[in-house]
Homo-oligomer: A and B are copies of this chain.
Amino acid sequence: MSNPTAAIIVIGDEILSGRTKDKNIGWLAEQLFSQGIDLCEARVIPDIRATIINTVRHMSSEYDLVFTSGGIGPTHDDITTEAIAAAFDKPVIRHPDAEAVLLKHYANTDLEFNAARQKMADIPMDADLIDNPLSAAPGFILHNVHVLPGVPSILQAMFEGLRVRLPGGVMMTRITVQCGSGEGNIATIMERIQNQYDGISVGSYPWFKPGNFGTAVVVSGLDALITGQAAEDIAGAVLALGVTAHIVMPGDTA
């Protein structure tokens, strides 16, 4: 049995123009990893209706789960809801539960629940709502597409509620071996151990600090024992070169 697969679509001209730096891909990637879901691809696309429709259709058929962020607010450039409805040939309706929760939210503020804000209660027919504990405006799930806002704090709060509804997978074990050496020195060791064990993946990430450099070697695999053995083999072989190497324990500051 393999883990569920997933893709992320970040929707927003502001990311492509560099004005806003995306923080959602990295955060969602970590959450999906810890949930045992394999993130296979992420795309940043503009606020163009046809692009959203084509990308959502493609990713929805290609992967078990799709997550979108951005474009579900109250303004004219927030076209995600309508485009995703169109991708699945659904009309958009004023959703009574969404409207109720927004009405209640705005009744507790001095903000008017005007036409722009009412738009946030428009949801594709047959979609399930995703609660928004911060600013009330819900996201939704249509088929396998999970539609979330672009503001990271709100996306994160909404994902926490969504988490229990996602399918679980086998959590990957990931072990870091910190090596006091450039990756060129230890490349053959990593390749040898990668080939020696089935089902593990060995990645290497060079780092540089003033006066110091090294490589974080990351061993990942579904089987915790095999992954641990491979990490120890790498640490041992690197130490045998006369270079420092230690396995980073959870809680270590690397």
Q: Which of A18-57 contact B (CB under 8 A)?
A: 18-22, 25-33, 39-46
Question: CB within 8 A of A204: which of B28, B42, B77, B204?
Answer: B77
Contacts of A112 in B (CB 8 A): 185
Q: State how many residues of chain A have any CB contact under 8 Å with chain B.
A: 61
Question: Do A25 and B22 touch (CB < 8 A)?
Answer: yes
CB pair A22 B16 closer than 8 Å: no
> Quick check: is A199 within 8 A (CB to CB) of the other chain?
no
Residues of B within 8 Å of A190, CB to CB, are 75-76
Q: Is the pair B33, A17 in contact by a Cβ cutoff of 8 Å?
A: yes
Contact A204 B43 (CB under 8 A): no
- Copies of this chain, how many? 2
Cβ of A220 within 8 Å of any chain B Cβ, yes or no, is yes
Q: A21 — which chain B residues lie within 8 A by C-beta?
A: 26
* A74 cross-chain contacts in B, Cβ below 8 A: 183-184, 187
Complex CA gap A13/B41 in Å reads: 10
Q: Of B18, B39, B115, which one neighbours A29 at CB under 8 angstroms?
A: B18
- Please judge, given known A-B contacts A18-B33, A39-B17, A41-B43, whether A185 and B77 are in contact too, CB under 8 Å: no
Is A218's beta carbon under 8 Å from chain B? Answer: yes
Find the residue from A39, A116, A153, A190 having the highest chain B CB count within 10 A.
A116
Min C-beta distance of A5 to chain B, whole Å: 11
A-B contact list, 6 entries, CB within 8 Å: A18-B31, A18-B32, A18-B39, A19-B33, A22-B26, A111-B185
Instruction: List A residues at the B interface (Cβ < 8 Å).
Output: 13-22, 25-33, 39-46, 73-77, 111-112, 114-117, 119, 151, 153, 172, 174, 182-185, 187-188, 190-191, 194, 201-206, 208, 218, 220
